[in-house]
């Protein structure tokens, strides 16, 4: 089936506002004033919904971004789809090929059932992707199971010890210079909870059925680093994936337990479903020790961010206004939706505990759940006021299809973070 683009309205028989029409030549997407990329994605979703799985992008107007917008809507989690792409310049064709490989890896990984993606499997998949695009520039270390406890990665170990599948920390070093003494330009820290029951603060089924996607932050940052590497990133970046299952068992984390971290912080656990911040803390401690210019963490961290923004935007938090502005500019350049939410110094005091320095959830008087979660993480970033960004990945996964998206992972955020890494490395 050939698919064309047109700036002309559809024939009247299709309706005054029709964006898709069909004739003997194929299907035509009718672009009106406004957001053409969104219109293309929505039309592609409709084409897929009609059972068309093999298409040719024909005629004029199929630029790189228009072609990518079509794939974003056309792609789905079930079955195969084939696209014969319109002719692009060599550079644009290469960029499209990179996106198809890397962002589809992100979407496929997030969509993988938890049964088929353990913490260790997530780490090894990330290594495989990075080795493909980083080649000899990549080295890594995987620490798992009781070795985490012995090396004082107490957040990851404590959250993951309730599962039969061992928790894992992946520490991956992308070092294009090959110099072991080269400074670390950036650190990326991803939440890799491969399934989240909520632990003893058990989730209801309606909230648990999508928790295979609770490793979306880890997948997104892995994809972002791979995409930046594929585009010639020439500075050293370290990637930390904090991977675990959050399960219920006789060995699982309990309410009232206290975790003692390597930076001296103690945390009382008053909600075992607020586990993502507990594992990220370990990665942020390691990231801070590298003294990088830039630390970015990403996590499907709070329902509060999704309540505020739905599935349509990633939530951004930072004390660094200039850096937050740079990320938002990168997001705009890459046509990806981010929205900044508040994070202030007073949020850091909203985590009171009677028995530890911090609580892992805010007190009942403080209801800004996404902001207090970000504030919790700031206690594990040495220079939290400068050079640190926290992304709460609200737009990572959709439980059901929408006008523009199939059900499942979206891959949003990969291009934005890659763009920022490349822009700041110049």
Q: Which residues are catalytic?
A: 203, 277
How far apart are the C-alpha atoms of 208 and 246, rounded to whole Å? 11
Give the closest residue to 156 by CA, choosing from 295, 247, 281, 251: 281
Determine how many CB atoms are found less than 10 A away from the CB of residue 49: 12
CB 242 within 8 A of CB 189: yes
Residue 101's CB is within 10 A of a number of other CB atoms, namely 16
Task: Work out the number of other CB atoms within 10 angstroms of the CB of residue 265.
Answer: 17
Give, in degrees to the nearest 5, the angle at Cα 243 between 237 and 248. Answer: 165
The pair phi, psi for residue 90, each rounded to 5°, is: -60, -45
Interacting residues of 104 by C-beta distance below 8 A, sequence separation 6+? 75, 411
Q: How far is CA 161 from CA 143, 198, 254, 280, in A?
A: 14, 14, 11, 16
């Amino acid at each position: 089936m050939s698919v064309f683009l047109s700036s002309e309205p559809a024939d009247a028989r299709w309706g005054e506002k029709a964006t898709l029409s069909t004739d003997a030549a194929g299907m035509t997407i009718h672009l009106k004033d406004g957001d053409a990329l969104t219109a293309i994605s929505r039309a592609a979703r409709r084409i897929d919904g009609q059972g068309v799985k093999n298409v040719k992008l024909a005629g004029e107007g199929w630029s790189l971004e228009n072609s990518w917008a079509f794939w974003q809507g056309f792609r789905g989690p079930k079955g195969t789809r084939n696209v014969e792409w319109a002719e692009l310049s060599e550079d644009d064709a290469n960029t499209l090929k990179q996106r198809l490989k890397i962002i589809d890896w992100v979407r496929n990984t997030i969509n993988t059932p938890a049964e088929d993606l353990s913490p260790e499997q997530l780490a090894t998949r990330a290594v495989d992707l990075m080795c493909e695009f980083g080649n000899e520039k990549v080295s890594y270390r995987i620490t798992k199971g009781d070795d985490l406890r012995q090396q004082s990665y107490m957040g990851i170990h404590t959250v993951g010890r309730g599962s039969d599948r061992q928790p894992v920390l992946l520490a991956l070093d992308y070092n294009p210079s090959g110099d072991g003494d080269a400074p670390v330009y950036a650190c990326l820290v991803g939440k890799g909870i491969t399934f989240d029951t909520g632990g003893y603060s058990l989730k209801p089924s309606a909230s648990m059925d999508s928790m295979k996607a609770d490793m979306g932050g880890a997948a997104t940052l892995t994809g972002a680093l791979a995409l930046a590497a594929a585009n010639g990133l020439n500075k050293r970046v370290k990637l930390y994936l904090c991977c675990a299952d959050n399960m219920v068992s006789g060995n699982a984390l309990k309410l009232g337990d206290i975790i003692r971290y390597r930076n001296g912080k103690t945390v009382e656990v008053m909600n075992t479903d607020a586990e993502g911040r507990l594992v990220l803390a370990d990665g942020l401690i390691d990231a801070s020790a590298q003294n990088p210019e830039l630390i970015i963490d990403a996590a499907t961290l709070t329902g509060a961010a999704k309540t505020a923004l739905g599935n349509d935007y990633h939530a951004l938090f930072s004390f660094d206004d200039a850096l937050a502005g740079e990320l938002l500019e990168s997001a705009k350049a890459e046509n990806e939706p981010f929205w900044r939410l508040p994070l202030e110094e007073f949020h850091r005091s909203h985590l009171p505990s009677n028995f530890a320095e911090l609580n892992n959830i805010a007190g009942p008087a403080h209801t800004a759940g996404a902001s207090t979660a970000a504030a919790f993480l700031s206690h594990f970033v040495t220079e939290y006021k400068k050079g640190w960004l926290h992304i709460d990945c609200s737009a990572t996964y959709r439980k059901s299809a929408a006008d523009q998206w199939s059900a499942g992972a979206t891959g949003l955020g990969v291009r934005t973070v890659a763009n920022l890494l490349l822009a700041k490395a110049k």
